Amino acid sequence: MRELADADRIRRFMQDLGREARTAGRVYLTGGATAVLLGWRRMTIDVDIRIEADADAVLKYVPALKEALKINVELASPADFLPELPGWRDRSAFIVREGSIDFFHYDFYAQILAKIERGHQLDQTDVRELIARKLVDPGKAWELFEKIEPELYRFPAIDQASFRRAVAEGLGRPV
């Protein structure tokens, strides 16, 4: 049975994955893993990652690590649910290099927009924390939202008008 992932398990996952991977690359942590590592949550259900490396070379170690650490690891990032924000890689915050893998927090602006779109209660807490900790400037988040808004049609599960209202509300802006 898998357990919730705390900061120690997430760090061990990064260390072990970096030690096993033989090719250079980047792994982006997102969602609950970011919240746990930055300290506003104690645990998360899943360690959500996006891999930018020789994915097969990295992925072949993930099942064994999941079992050894008793954690859930999912391939998921904001780009699975929203258009990619321009410049997201440059804004992704470096965490650590383990072996040949650089680990980053996926762009906080993309994370906040994805959390607003999903709208769960825990996501709303994360939105407030990202703003309170000054990891996201609401004005810049709004500008980035407006840049991706014309591409929302590519994500048919999103109602553009409702999402726009939710983003305005989540960022404390008038519609």
Ordered domains of the chain (ranges, CATH):
5-107 (3.30.460), 111-170 (no CATH)
CA-closest candidate to residue 50, choices 25, 24, 76, 81:
76
Using an 8 Å Cβ cutoff, are 175 and 164 in contact? yes
pTM of the shown model: 0.94
Segments of the chain scoring below 70 in pLDDT: 1, 175
SS3 27: strand
Q: Please say whether the beta carbons of 174 and 164 come within 8 A.
A: no
pLDDT at 1: 63
The predicted structure's pLDDT at residue 53: 76
Tens-digit pLDDT profile for residues 35-72: 999 999 999 999 999 999 777 778 888 999 999 999 99
Closest by CA to 174, choosing from 140, 142, 149, is: 142
